[in-house]
Chains A and B, each alone.
Chain A
Amino acid sequence: MRKSLATLVPLLTVLALAVGACGGGNDNNNASGGNQKGGAAPNTGQTGKKGGTLTVLSLGDVDSLDPGYWYYQYDYMALGLPAQRELYSWKPQDNFVTPDIAVAAPQVSDGGKTLTIKIKPNIRYSPPLQNRMVKSADIKYAIERAFLPQVGNGYVGSYYTSIEGVKDYQDGKAKEISGIQTPDDTTLVLKLTAPSGVLATGVALALPATIPVPKDYAQKYDEAKQSTYGEHQVFTGPYMIPNDASGKLTGYTSGKNITLVRNPSWDAKTDFRPAYLDKVIFSGGNDITVGSRKILSGQSLLSGDFAAPPTTLLKQMVTQYKSQTSILPSQSIRFIALNTKVKPFDNINVRKAVGAVVNREALRTTRGGPAIGVVATHFIPPGMPGFDDAGGNAGPSGLDWNSKPAGDLQLAMNYMKKAGYSSGKYSGPPVLMVGDNQPPASKTGEALQAQLESLGFKLNYRQVQHPTMLSKFCGVPKAAVAICPNLGWGKDFFDSQSMIDPIFNGKNIAPVNNANYAQVDDPAFNKAMDSATQLTDAAERATAWADIDKQVTQGAYIIPWLWDNQVNFASKNVNGVVNKFNSSWDIAFTSLK
């Protein structure tokens, strides 16, 4: 679920990362996250009325039909959580995984290098494979196919490469991944080259790469230049997209709608999901203003990928429609990256000066003000393991340049003097800043431009579309972009490795699609991160990643400025349940009143 926040905002994109807002607007409300503000009391979905049809209004569509590709919020909301089952999954109120296809947590042995997972013997596929049970070999193939370029999975390269034999498989030297073993139909064994905390704790095994895929059925679809298995997939969850006798989906029209109906093969006794609804329709292509109003004033409607409702509606939500609105921290962050390989940001005092001059409250205002989230002071967001250890809302102590949410020009000038600029202002050549060209992100960039200019910076400021900004500028070290103001990151799961490692580990610096935007490559950090990655105890992991977060903050490589909230809203007759893992509605727990 890692996501680049600003992508989502323009009408498309949109996958929605949280922006949102409200409820009292007290910045201190979010201490350890997970608290629901402004809206109705948290609903666990343990009870609900059976039956009915629900319609989810959204701007766009799922990123792909292929479970091997799913990574984003709306993918999980529409398909991942209600229609498929992974080895492990997330109950709405939990920030730890629950066995789903698996019987129990992975059995860890061999010093953390062997994981044994028993799977339930009685889970069946949807038609046309209704007579077939899920086997461990299906999960092995699901993981293997996720490495295929025709599937294009975006995370197995981060979390599954410690499985033995992955490299040979990726290089085409082996037809299977040798470290994934299936001694019998209900046992899956993962042999690792080194201990992996995210696999041992099960959080990375709750990703859609573990959704079972029957090899003999799917392989023909995977042989195409781009896999078409998604259009023919079989389901294991309580719901399915209707299909024909050959398995081709008939209940999906790209960009327009996805229909979910009950999966006749699903057995409630094997699942923790109550699945109250009979039918769910995901209707795409909505205008956000019209769609939001329809939901609030209509019946049986739910918000889909609306990142942030229009400001005027937001105000109404926290007053007039409070009981229909849910606002939660989404464990995501917005930040400014300062490229340490480009002058003058190779100088830590210049970076600190920028940290001091940035008026984070003003930047937040460009997205809607205090309602949309909390001013960020470090990287791990509220609600994530390690947040409090890393400094909580106040941030690490002793960092004066990081403790001025409204900015402090005089302090910034002092740091510029320490950096060798005798006047306290930058006097070098113009620096390149590349940001989004669509509001509200473009407004954020423009506000930052004015703030930096007060410190003497002359900016060569280019505004481009968000995907272009990432794939041609900020994510390409060769482009030598000095400042990227419109970056964001969200958790993949409740483990802070998914927040810190991709952004700050030097080994992740890549020629394209580089997420280490500041190009931080400190051997000590890298070593600390590699060690933290191998910890298999959740509490130890939280502490280790919090320590790294503190060090990262001290280095001022990035200037964090917002921890987002996610706003979800529903019609009055909907008993909506938000899943904290995905920060959006959990269809399998939601019901009609």
Chain B
Amino acid sequence: MIQYIVRRVLWMIALLFLVSAITFFIFYALPSADPAVLRAGKSPNPQLVEQIRHQLGLDKPLYEQYFDYMKNLLTKGDFGYSYQNNISVRTQIFQRLPATISLAVGAAILWLTVGILVGIISSTRPRSLIDRVSMGGALIAISAPVYFLGLVVLYLFADDIGLIKLFPGAGSYVPLSQDAGQWFGSLIMPWCVLAAAFAAFYARLLRSQMIDTMHEDYIRTARAKGLSERTVIFHHGVRAAITPIVTAAGLDIGVLLGGAILTETVFNIPGVGRLAYDSIINSDLPMIQGTVLLGAFFIVTANLIVDVAYAFVDPRVRY
């Protein structure tokens, strides 16, 4: 197992290198905006643009620029400075990461809890009223765009613009370290909105897996042995059916840790997703690199954790 983990970590590092190189070269291959021109403001003379190009090292060959970037990253942990506002990329990412983690992890807990519960209940009572209502609700939740759902929830329940003033509205997020109560309150609606579609998808996924699993021979054997239905479902049914959920959850959480742009936008949560989006719009290469690398890091790490977790969740899997 240790050998396997070491091998996967090495692959992870190679993959991050690859992602950084691809991001870097795509930026120049596609007709994105010229960073020197953007940095120079709207009406600089050509001399200033060239001076800025030189100052930022943008007049060097691409491979040299990439080498310089990676050297600074690996030796000093320096992601560079934003072309947009001159502020350290690392500082900006780390300022925003806690908000994104708060949002993603909280939503994940919510959607796993709801999704798994609904999936189990629906699968154990297929075609019942509760199953049909649950699956119908899931279909609606999957179909509702996050942006739309976010606005609806705010107009209904936000304490500033809502009809029923229940929860803190957009822009109320504060860090956990500053005020735990307000942190929790401000994230209730974002968690629900972000978790809705995921919970619905997971419920449907688990339901179909469980229905298949509950018809397996070993389930019949377990029942024949006289085990309670609860034990049959949770110890034998769920345990076997849940592996696809673990895979999906790992990847989904990894992706969201790289930023949940729409939810962050609607609820004005200063997370990494907004930062990434803005950096793309502004052709801010150092920031694009930083946020893409961060997203890639979370995804490959989540993948690794999922693969390792497999071994524990499903005894049939061993490395």
Select from chain B the residue with minimum beta-carbon distance to A170: B47
Q: Are A254 and B87 in contact (CB under 8 A)?
A: yes
- Is A298 interfacial (CB-CB < 8 Å)? yes
Instruction: Classify chain B's interface size.
Output: 35 or more
Residue pair A515, B43 in contact (C-beta under 8 Å): yes
User: Interface-forming stretch among A44-52, A148-156, A322-330?
Assistant: A148-156
A152 x B278 contact (CB < 8 A): no
Q: Are A510 and B41 in contact (CB under 8 A)?
A: no
Q: Flag whether A408 is at the interface (Cβ < 8 A).
A: no
Complex CA distance for A485 and B91, rounded to whole angstroms: 39
CA distance A154 to B42 in the complex (A): 6
Q: Which residues of B contact A38 (CB under 8 A)?
A: none
* CB atoms of A283 and B171 under 8 A apart: yes
Of the stretches B12-20, B264-272, B308-316, the one at the interface is: B264-272
| B49 partner, pick from A11, A283, A473, A512, beta carbons under 8 A | A512
Q: Are A150 and B55 in contact, with the CB atoms below 8 A?
A: yes
A512 vs B81: C-alpha distance when bound (angstroms)? 23
A293 touches B161 (CB 8 A): yes
Interface members, chain A 110-157 (any B CB < 8 Å): 147, 149-150, 152-155, 157
A427 CB within 8 Å of chain B: no
Contacts of A515 in B (CB 8 A): 42-43
Contact (Cβ within 8 A) A291 B170: yes
B161 engages A467 (CB within 8 Å)? no
Given the interface contacts A63-B85, A290-B151, A472-B31, does A158 sit within 8 Å of B171 by beta carbon? no
B34 part of interface (Cβ distance < 8 Å) = yes
A560: shortest Cβ distance to chain B, in Å? 19
Q: Report the bound CA distance from A64 to B85 in whole Å.
A: 5
Distance (whole angstroms) from the CB of A432 to the closest CB of chain B: 13
Asked if A256 contacts B270 (CB within 8 A), the reply is: yes
For residue A78, give the distance in angstroms from its CB to the closest CB of chain B: 13
Residue of A whose beta carbon sits closest to that of B39:
A152
Collect the chain B residues with CB atoms within 8 Å of residue A3's CB. 42
Residues of B within 8 A of A69 (CB): 41
Residue of A whose beta carbon sits closest to that of B55: A149
CB-defined contacts of A472 to chain B, threshold 8 Å? 31-34
A155 to B40, CA, bound (A): 9
Within 8 A of B (CB), among A1-43: 2-4, 10-13
Find out whether the CB atom of B170 lies under 8 angstroms from the CB atom of A155.
Answer: no
Closest A residue to B280 by beta carbon equals A465
Mask, B84-118, CB within 8 Å of A = 1, is: 11110000100110000000000000000000000
Q: How far is the CB of B29 from chain A (nearest CB, A)?
A: 13
CB distance from A479 to the nearest CB of B (A): 10
Question: Could you give, for residues 154-184 of chain B, a 1 whenever the CB lies within 8 Å of some chain A CB and a 0 otherwise?
Answer: 1100001100000001110000000000000
B86 near A255 with CB under 8 A, answer no
Q: List B contacts of A286 (CB < 8 A).
A: 170-171, 268
Does any Cβ of A come within 8 Å of B275's Cβ? yes
> Quick check: A512 and B37 within 8 Å, CB to CB?
yes
Indicate if the CB atoms of B43 and A287 lie closer than 8 Å: no
If A226-B86, A290-B266, A510-B45 touch, whether A468 touches B31 (CB-CB below 8 Å) is yes
Instruction: Select which of B170, B274, B277, B283 is within 8 A of A290 by beta carbon.
Output: B170
Binds B, one of A186-194, A227-235, A354-362, A384-392: A227-235
Residues of A within 8 A of B171 (CB): 57, 283, 285-286, 291, 294
Are B274 and A149 closer than 8 Å at their CB atoms?
Answer: no
Q: For the complex, what is the distance from the CA of A154 to the CA of B52, rounded to whole Å?
A: 12
Q: Contact: A285 with B274, CB < 8 Å?
A: yes
Contacts of B37 in A (CB 8 A): 470-471, 475, 512-513
**Contact status A467-B281, CB under 8 Å:** yes
Kindly identify which residue among B32, B86, B170 contacts A468, using a CB–CB cutoff of 8 Å. B32
Chain A contacts for B40, CB-based, 8 A: 152, 154, 513
Q: Does A401 contact B (CB under 8 A)?
A: no
Q: Which of B33, B45, B269 is A157 in contact with, Cβ under 8 Å?
A: B45
Q: Tell me which of B42, B52, B56, B160 has the highest count of chain A C-beta atoms within 10 A of its own C-beta.
A: B42
Any A CB within 8 A of the CB of B143? no
Q: Is B61 an interface residue (CB 8 A)?
A: no
CB neighbours of A254 from chain B (8 A) = 82, 85, 87, 92, 95
Judged by a CB distance under 8 angstroms, whether A423 is at the interface is no
Contact assessment for B282 and A467 in the assembled complex, using a CB-CB cutoff below 8 Å: yes
CA distance A465 to B283 in the complex (A): 10
Any A CB within 8 A of the CB of B54: yes
Give the nearest-CB partner of A147 in chain B: B48
A470–B265 CA distance with the chains assembled, in angstroms:
26
Minimum CB distance partner of A1 in chain B: B42
Q: How far is the CB of B86 from chain A (nearest CB, A)?
A: 4
A12→B87 contact, CB < 8 A: no
CA distance A230 to B88 in the complex (A): 13
B98-142 interface (Cβ within 8 A of A): none
Check B42–A255 contact: CB distance below 8 A: no
If the complex has contacts A152-B52, A512-B37, are A294 and B160 also in contact, measured as CB distance less than 8 A? yes
Bound together, the chains give a CA A230 to CA B85 distance in angstroms of: 9
Report if A511 contacts B (CB, 8 A).
Answer: yes
The answer to whether B86 and A297 touch across the interface, beta carbons within 8 angstroms, is no
A 203-245 to B, binary, CB cutoff 8 A, 1 in contact else 0: 0000000000000000000000111101100000000000000
Asked if A440 is an interface residue, CB under 8 A from chain B, the answer is no
Q: Give bound CA distance, A442 to B264, whole Å.
A: 25
Report B-chain residues with C-beta under 8 Å of the C-beta of A290.
151, 154, 161, 169-170, 266, 268
B46: interface (CB < 8 Å): yes
Which residue of chain B is the closest to A12 with respect to CB atoms? B281
Identify the closest chain A residue to B56 (Cβ).
A225
Residues of chain A lying within 8 A (CB to CB) of residue B283:
467-468, 471
Expressed in whole angstroms, the Cα–Cα distance for A475 and B42 within the complex equals 10
Chain A CB within 10 Å — which of B47, B56, B87 has the most?
B87
Q: How far is the CA of A473 from the CA of B274 in the complex (A)?
A: 27
- A502 in the interface (beta carbon within 8 A): yes
Residues of A within 8 A of B45 (CB): 157-158, 161, 510
* CB–CB B44/A153 < 8 A: yes
B270 touches A71 (CB 8 A): no
CB contacts (< 8 Å) of B265 on chain A: these are 11, 285, 287
Residue of A nearest to B262 (CB): A287
**Pair B33/A2 contact, Cβ less than 8 Å:** no
Expressed in whole angstroms, the Cα–Cα distance for A467 and B83 within the complex equals: 14
Further contacts, 19 of them, CB under 8 A, given A64-B84, A254-B95, A515-B42:
A57-B171, A60-B278, A61-B85, A69-B41, A71-B41, A150-B55, A154-B44, A155-B43, A255-B270, A286-B170, A287-B151, A290-B154, A290-B161, A290-B268, A293-B155, A293-B161, A294-B160, A471-B283, A513-B34
What are 17 residue pairs bridging A and B, where the CB atoms are less than 8 Å apart in the complex?
A: A13-B282, A152-B44, A161-B45, A225-B56, A226-B56, A227-B86, A231-B87, A283-B171, A283-B268, A285-B269, A285-B274, A290-B170, A293-B155, A467-B283, A471-B38, A475-B37, A515-B42
5 A-B pairs with least C-beta separation: A154-B41, A149-B51, A467-B33, A157-B45, A256-B270
